Structures are given as structure tokens and as C-alpha cells.
């Protein structure tokens, strides 16, 4: 390449220097690249720090900003570091300081920050607003720098010195990871668990020829500050073997009922360095672009006390599991972390595997302990030499004082002490420099004790330095102490695979049969079990006793109605209801939602029964407390979301309702004055919505209906009645009678019925009744289940005493 001429002005105007542009560019670029690699972008494999981080920690230690001291303004720290050690921009220094204080960036933070140090979605406050001091873990990094454990070099202007590397009492590069971009190379290392890394380091100390598989028994994978899950471990082994590999990070999620009508995905942990706002924005973009379906809302409930909490509400009709898999594929809820373990070893960048990283650190730590021991032995020897001189002087203190007083000057006094007492120059100088009052206060016993201690210490340090095995054992013991002080349990879960089933879950819920259940306390849910149900107590934390009192079979996308005590019917979609596992006889269930959270009911309005609005059947039959019965036409059931089924009289209410399947069922009324009436449903014609119904049973003065049902009777059906007193206190035990239903003759509509229970002395009313199939069960007022013994008596007989007050009595759910 031809030479180019360059004219330079200044101190030599008009001077022309011929240079080779190629050589100049190569040389300048290499100098720049070396500067970036060595002095800025890559961490040292020994302490895991870049120069800026090392300088911050060292300067804060020099400033005395230890954990027991007060915080100081971050701007003061940045100014000290920039003025004395790091001649670069204050922004770069402050950014490095902030990262060392962020618990979501560092597995073991080295700076104790006070104030706003940012979050995954927002930056920190300006350095003039935040404060900082060293964290306890940072003290383990800098401890020993004043004991000649590491080499020091000149700072940028040669006025001061700074450590080339820190003593580093724990493997910081593995524990906290690192990231940086240099010229032609980059580093990206994941954080790990301190306890696991220390265990691997100690094993390698004891077994230098340990294999990678042995070390991975202690360090199975990264442990990220934000927790989450790591899916697939093959890439981790590649990274530990060669220094390069990748793994997938996945958010920690759970599927739960987020409201009475909605299921949702709750995110409690996100992948490393992924913030909630980033996830929210991506989900919003995908939903707007119609690339992501099934999501109705996303709510960010993240705060400083409870941590990450994203609630992703799923539309009814979509499988949350399928939506979750789409979220993993399309959003940052699953990210890939690529490990590129590049670090400086003896000033040269190298790609290091797990074992090499541990070996470099351990070699450094062994050297630190050796140099520290040599320093301490030397200082102890120097002190012992002075103590020996003091002991000689103390034994003949009067002659020492007389010699000093009789000397013409200090030089003569020193020579006299050296000749007369056989002291060294250093010993004599130390005695002369010491004030007389201190010299006379020394006790020979104290000096002798200190002499023995120093001799023992020197012997101990000498043994340590001469025995490599003891040196390595000390390194191991100190690692244990560090792990005990700063170690925490693993946060990240490691998974061999994603756990996705081989058969993919469809995104939308298939329209399949489902059973909807309504409990006595107003809880509602659906289950995939549609076969005939045995009696099962539905016990939930909301109520101490509760039973299923209505059930309807429909489809998962079908409509159903809730009939209430105000004579209204409210339309619901089965898909909007919470799902519970299939019922098993005698099994407690959870997961139902209060109907009041799904429907808006008026004050005093209670749910009575469920009806299938998808299949018309023969309509609905309902009865009121004043003895009115109405049979509703089937076409009325296909109306709007809420409408009246009956026009009620003042002070009247619906006490029972049932859906008719054949129109030939038997209607049964039971009143509180112990009258039972039953007649065929054909005696009641269907009416329109505005009708008020017809008389069902003729009531005596003051009486009311307490029970109504419609069923296809059989010989095995029974009548159960429970009596008590009007004036009885709550919880009073009454009596119960069981009779065959066949003993009760049928009568016409609007008649008075027949007596179903003879009251004992003190009883004057029925408080509960049941007519239908067996077996029969009940719950006490305390919520305990009771199996009713089937002992039948005559139709108009008296009852037998109950073992306890019964709250609800029921039979099989059809």
C-alpha cells in the first residue's frame, strides 16, 4: 500500500511526516481493542469483576462505607471513583454501581442501596437522589487488600495505586454472572447459587481430578435472581463443558379462579431480566394483531412487598393451559439465555468451562491465603523482634535509663544500647522512640505472654505455608464460612423438559356434557361428571355445613337458569362457571363460587333451583309458601337474561321449583302443620309468564308450605319429616319420622292433604321435610354429616328423638 503524506501543525508548522496508513490503523485499532477488552468490557476470572466494578468496591472500602456505617450520596461515590481511579463518564460508573445494588440483577448484591435503584421496567433515580454503602458480601470481596494479598498498580495518572484484582472470598463470577461486549468478543454468564458453587469448589479442592459430571452434581444449573424455571438441561452441560451453550428460561405460573366467572393465569416469577411491563406490552400487541386469542384482560398487581404478580384473565370457552403455551411461544414469558463464558485469565481473554472457572478462582484464592499468611508471619516476626528487645530492656530498666541520660545525643544512646545490651538497630531505635512513661509501664509478664503468643502464631503460619494440604483446607473452611453467612436456598427450578403433554390441548373448550351444581348456601360450580350422583356433602371453607340441593345436566356451552325465591329466573352460561373435579360420594369439594358474585340478586332474594334452558322438556313447576303452584310453558324458558316466572302475592315467596321431564310427575306439598298433599302434574295446566298460578294446596289458618318437589314416584320412596317447637331456641333437638310414600293417598289439587306427622308434647310445627329416594343423609348445625337409619313408622305416627339438631336433610342428586 502506498504511503500517505500527512501535514501536522502546532509546534512544528509545515512539518510533513510520511506514515503507512494501514500500519497506523492496525496499530491504533489493536490498542483500542486491547483497552476495551482489558480495561472495560471483560471481567477477570479471579474476582469476576470488570475494572469499574473493582474500582467502585475498592474506593468505597477506602471511604469507610462499610455495612455498619451510614449511607452516603451515590454522587459522592461516583465522584471519588471518577476522580481517583476511573477517568471515564460518571454515567458508566453510576450504572455499574446501580447494577451491583439490584437484587433482580445480582444473585448476591454487593452494594446496599437506599432509594430508587430502578426496576426491570424503569431506570434508577439520579445519583444525587440515591445513597449507597457496601453490602456485607462486598466486605468478603475486599477483605485482605491491606495485607498484601493482591498486587497494586498505578492509577491513570500515577498519583495513586489501585488493586489489580480483589481477594474475593467467594467465586463472584459464577455467583453473580457477568455481561459485556468488547471488540470482536462478548461475555454473557448466568448467576448461580452460592451454596452450590462453594460445594463444587470444595469438592474440586479435595479432588483436583474431579470430572464435570461430579461437579454438576453440586452445580446442576444456574440459579437466577428472579427465580422462574429453566427448561432443558442439555445446553447447560454444553456451557459447563465448553463455555458456550444456551437454555430456556420460563415464567412461574399457576392457573386458578381469578373471579367468580373467570379462570386465569397468575404469573409470580418472570425470566431473568424480563419486566412485567415488557410482558404486558407484548400481550397487548399480540391481542390487537389477533395473533393471541382467549385473553380478556391482563392486570399487573406487582409491588415491592408481594413481588411479581401478573393476572391474565382467560375468556370463557378457552383452555387456560393452551393459552399459556401460546404465551410461552409468543411473549417474553419464555426467553433463551445464551452462555458465553469469556473472561480474562492472566490478562488474556479465554472461553472457560465450569471446571476451569473454579480452578482459576481456587488458584487465586490459594495465592491470596498464602500471601496473607506470609504477610501476617512477617508482621508477627517484626513485632516479636521488638518484644524481644523490650524484654531485654525491661530486665535492666534502670541501666537503660541511665545510659540514655548519660549519652550526648540519640546516636550515642543508640550505639550504647546496641553495645551494652546486644540489641539490633531496629530494637534500639524502637526503645529510644518510645516515651519513657510507656517504657516503664511495660510488665515483663505481659511481654513474655505476648512473646509466647507471637512465637506460636509464627509457628502456626509457618506450618500452614509449608503444607499445601493445610493451605487448601483453610481455603475450604473459609468458603464454608462465606456460604454460611451469605448462602440462600435455590430460587430457580430446573426441568429436563417443558412437561407439555404429547397430545396438544385445544385452544377452545369443546362443547361437552357437564353437570351444574347449586348448594344450599348459594355456591355454584360445574363438573364433567354427568352420571347419577350419590349423596355427597359439599363442604367449603365459607360454610361449616353445606349440601348440594339442585343439579342440572347441560353442555359446557349451554344455557341454564337459576330460579329464585322472588319468582324470577336468571340465565347463566355454563362456560362462565368455575370447574370442580367430579364428585365422589362422601368427598369434600372446593372451588365453587358464591352465586351473588355472578348474579345481581335483590335483597332477600335466594336461589332455589337450577333449570336447563337448552332442552325445553315439559317446562318448570314451582310452588310458593302460600300454597300456589304454577306450571310454566316450555317456550317461556327461551326468553331474555332475566324474567319473572310467576306473579307473586305480597309476602309470598317461591319455596321450591323443579324441571319437568315427562309432565306426568307427582307434585308433593308438605306444610309446617304436618299436612302432605300429592297429586299428578297433569292436574295443573301450563300457563304463560304473566300468570299467577293456581291453588296447589288448601292451607289452614297460619300454615305455610315448607317443602315442594316433583318426581316420578316408586315403591322405595320415603317421606321424612322433622318436628320442633315454634318457641324453641336455635339448635334445639327435635324429632324425626320416616314413612313409606305409598302410605300417603293421592288427592286432588287444592285440597288439604293428609297428616304426615303426629306432634309430641311441646312440638307444634314441622321445620324440614324430604320426599324421594333413599339413601338419606343430613348435616347437623355444626356441619357434621349424619347417616339416617331407615326405621319406618306409620303415616301419622310420632317421630323419634334426633341425636342432634339437623340443619339440612337430603337424598340422592339425580
**Which residues have a catalytic role annotated?**
129
| Residue where the block lists cell 481511579 | 85
Long-range contacts of 156-159 (CB under 8 A, 24+ apart): 156/85, 156/86, 156/87, 157/87
231 SS3 class: strand
Backbone conformation region of residue 228, classed left if phi is above 0, alpha if psi is from -120 to 50, else beta: left
Q: Cα–Cα distance between 379 and 366 in angstroms, integer?
A: 20
Q: Cα–Cα distance between 327 and 264 in angstroms, integer?
A: 13
- The three-point CA angle 408-411-412 to 5° equals 45
Three state DSSP letters for 461-519: HHHHHHCHHHHHHHHHHHHHHHHHHHCCCCCCEEECCCCCCCCCCCCECCCCEEEEEEE
Q: What is the DSSP string of 618-655?
A: T-EEEEETTSEEEEE-GGGGGS-SEEESS-PPTT--EE
CB 132 within 8 A of CB 64: no
Helix (H) or strand (E) holding 570: strand 568-573
CB 567 within 8 A of CB 646: yes
CB 694 within 8 A of CB 749: yes
CB 739 within 8 A of CB 793: yes
The alpha carbon torsion through 662, 666, 669, 675 (nearest 10 deg) reads 180
CB 605 within 8 A of CB 566: yes
Distances (CA, A) of 803 to 721, 774, 775: 15, 20, 18
Q: What is the DSSP string of 254-272?
A: EEEE-SSS-EEEEEEE--T
Summary count for the chain: helices (H), strands (E):
18, 43
Q: How far is CA 575 from the centre of its chain?
A: 30
541 SS3 class: coil
Q: Check residue 576 and report its DSSP letter.
A: G
Q: Cα–Cα distance between 137 and 140 in angstroms, integer?
A: 5
C-alpha closest to that of 600 among 651, 566, 574, 630: 566
Residue 359 in grid coordinates: 480452578
Q: Check residue 586 and report its DSSP letter.
A: T
Q: Cα–Cα distance between 422 and 392 in angstroms, integer?
A: 9
Q: Cα–Cα distance between 725 and 721 in angstroms, integer?
A: 14
The b/e string for 175-189 (b: 16+ C-beta within 10 A; e otherwise) is bbbbbbebeebebbb
Long-range contacts of 39-42 (CB under 8 A, 24+ apart): 40/88, 40/180, 40/182, 41/180, 41/181, 41/182, 41/183, 41/186, 41/187, 42/180, 42/182, 42/185, 42/187, 42/342, 42/343, 42/344, 42/349
Amino acid at each position: 500500500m502506498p504511503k500517505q503524506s500527512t501535514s501536522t501543525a502546532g509546534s512544528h508548522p509545515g512539518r510533513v511526516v510520511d506514515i503507512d496508513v494501514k500500519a497506523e490503523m492496525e496499530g491504533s485499532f489493536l490498542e483500542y481493542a486491547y483497552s476495551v477488552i482489558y480495561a472495560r468490557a471483560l471481567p477477570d476470572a479471579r474476582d469476576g469483576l470488570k475494572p469499574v466494578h473493582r474500582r467502585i468496591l475498592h474506593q468505597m472500602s477506602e471511604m469507610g462505607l462499610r455495612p455498619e456505617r451510614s449511607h452516603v450520596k451515590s454522587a459522592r461515590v461516583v465522584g471519588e471513583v471518577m476522580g481517583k481511579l476511573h477517568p471515564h463518564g460518571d454515567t458508566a460508573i453510576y450504572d455499574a454501581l446501580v447494577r451491583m445494588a439490584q437484587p433482580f440483577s445480582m444473585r448476591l448484591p454487593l452494594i446496599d442501596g437506599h432509594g430508587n435503584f430502578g426496576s426491570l421496567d424503569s431506570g434508577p433515580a439520579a445519583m444525587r437522589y440515591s445513597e449507597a454503602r457496601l453490602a456485607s458480601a462486598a466486605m468478603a470481596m475486599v477483605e485482605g487488600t491491606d495485607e498484601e494479598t493482591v498486587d497494586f498498580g498505578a492509577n491513570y495518572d500515577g498519583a495513586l495505586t489501585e488493586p489489580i484484582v480483589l481477594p474475593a472470598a467467594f467465586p463472584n463470577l459464577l455467583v453473580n454472572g457477568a455481561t459485556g461486549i468488547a471488540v470482536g468478543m462478548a461475555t454473557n454468564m448466568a448467576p448461580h447459587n452460592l451454596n452450590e458453587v462453594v460445594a463444587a469448589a470444595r469438592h474440586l479442592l479435595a479432588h483436583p481430578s474431579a470430572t464435570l459430571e461430579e461437579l454438576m452434581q453440586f452445580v446442576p444449573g444456574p440459579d437466577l435472581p428472579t427465580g422462574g424455571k429453566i427448561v432443558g438441561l442439555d445446553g447447560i452441560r454444553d456451557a459447563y463443558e465448553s463455555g458456550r451453550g444456551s437454555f430456556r428460561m420460563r415464567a412461574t405460573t399457576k392457573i386458578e379462579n381469578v373471579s367468580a366467572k373467570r379462570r386465569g393465569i397468575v404469573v409470580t416469577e418472570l425470566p431473568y431480566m424480563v419486566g412485567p411491563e415488557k410482558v404486558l406490552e407484548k400481550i397487548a400487541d399480540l391481542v390487537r394483531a389477533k395473533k393471541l386469542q382467549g385473553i380478556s384482560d391482563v392486570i399487573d398487581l406487582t409491588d415491592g412487598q408481594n413481588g411479581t404478580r401478573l393476572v391474565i384473565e382467560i375468556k370463557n370457552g378457552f383452555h387456560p393451559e393452551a393459552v399459556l403455551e401460546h404465551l410461552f411461544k409468543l411473549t417474553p414469558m419464555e426467553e433463551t439465555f445464551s452462555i458465553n463464558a469469556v473472561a480474562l485469565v492472566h490478562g488474556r481473554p479465554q472461553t472457560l468451562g465450569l471446571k476451569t472457572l473454579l480452578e482459576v478462582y481456587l488458584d487465586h484464592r490459594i495465592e491470596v491465603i498464602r500471601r496473607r499468611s506470609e504477610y501476617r508471619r512477617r508482621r508477627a516476626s517484626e513485632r516479636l523482634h521488638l518484644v524481644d528487645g523490650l524484654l531485654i530492656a525491661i530486665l535492666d530498666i534502670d541501666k537503660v535509663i541511665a545510659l540514655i541520660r548519660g549519652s550526648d545525643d540519640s546516636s550515642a544512646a543508640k550505639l550504647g544500647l546496641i553495645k551494652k545490651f546486644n540489641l539490633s538497630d531496629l530494637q534500639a531505635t524502637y526503645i529510644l522512640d518510645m516515651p519513657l512513661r510507656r517504657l516503664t509501664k511495660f510488665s515483663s509478664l505481659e511481654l513474655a505472654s505476648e512473646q509466647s503468643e507471637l512465637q506460636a502464631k509464627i509457628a502456626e503460619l509457618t506450618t500452614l505455608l509449608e503444607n499445601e494440604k493445610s493451605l487448601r483446607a483453610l481455603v475450604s473452611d473459609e468458603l464454608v464460612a462465606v456460604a454460611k453467612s451469605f448462602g440462600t436456598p435455590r430460587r430457580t427450578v430446573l426441568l429436563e423438559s417443558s412437561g407439555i403433554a404429547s397430545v396438544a390441548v385445544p385452544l377452545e373448550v369443546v362443547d361437552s356434557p357437564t353437570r351444574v351444581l347449586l348448594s344450599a348456601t348459594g355456591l355454584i360450580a360445574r363438573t364433567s361428571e354427568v352420571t347419577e350422583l350419590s349423596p355427597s356433602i359439599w363442604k367449603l371453607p365459607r360454610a361449616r355445613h353445606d349440601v348440594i340441593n339442585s343439579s342440572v345436566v347441560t353442555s359446557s356451552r349451554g344455557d341454564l337458569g337459576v330460579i329464585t325465591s322472588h319468582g324470577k329466573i336468571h340465565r347463566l352460561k355454563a362456560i362462565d362457571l368455575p370447574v370442580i373435579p367430579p364428585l365422589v360420594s362422601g368427598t369434600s369439594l372446593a372451588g365453587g363460587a358464591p352465586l351473588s358474585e355472578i348474579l345481581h340478586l335483590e335483597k332477600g332474594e335466594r336461589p332455589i333451583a337450577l333449570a336447563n334452558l337448552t332442552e325445553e322438556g315439559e317446562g318448570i313447576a314451582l310452588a310458593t309458601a302460600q300454597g300456589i303452584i304454577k306450571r310454566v310453558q316450555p317456550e317461556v324458558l327461551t326468553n331474555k337474561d332475566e324474567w319473572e316466572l310467576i306473579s307473586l302475592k305480597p309476602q309470598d315467596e317461591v319455596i321450591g321449583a323443579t324441571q319437568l321431564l315427562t309432565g306426568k310427575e307427582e307434585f308433593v306439598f308438605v306444610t309446617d302443620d304436618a299436612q302432605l298433599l300429592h297429586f299428578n302434574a297433569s292436574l295443573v295446566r301450563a300457563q304463560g309468564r304473566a300468570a299467577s298460578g293456581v291453588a296447589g294446596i288448601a292451607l289452614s289458618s297460619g300454615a305455610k308450605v315448607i317443602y315442594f318437589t316433583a318426581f316420578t314416584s316408586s315403591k322405595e320412596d320415603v317421606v321424612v319429616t322433622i318436628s320442633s317447637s315454634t318457641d324453641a331456641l336455635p339448635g334445639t333437638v327435635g324429632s324425626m319420622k320416616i314413612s313409606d310414600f305409598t302410605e300417603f293417598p293421592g288427592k286432588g289439587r287444592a285440597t288439604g292433604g293428609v297428616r304426615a306427622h303426629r306432634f309430641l308434647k311441646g312440638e307444634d310445627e314441622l321445620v324440614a321435610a324430604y320426599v324421594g329416594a333413599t339413601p338419606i343423609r343430613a348435616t347437623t348445625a355444626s356441619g357434621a354429616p349424619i347417616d339416617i337409619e331407615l326405621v319406618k313408622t306409620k303415616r301419622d305416627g310420632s317421630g323419634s328423638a334426633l341425636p342432634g339438631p339437623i340443619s339440612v336433610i337430603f337424598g340422592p342428586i339425580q
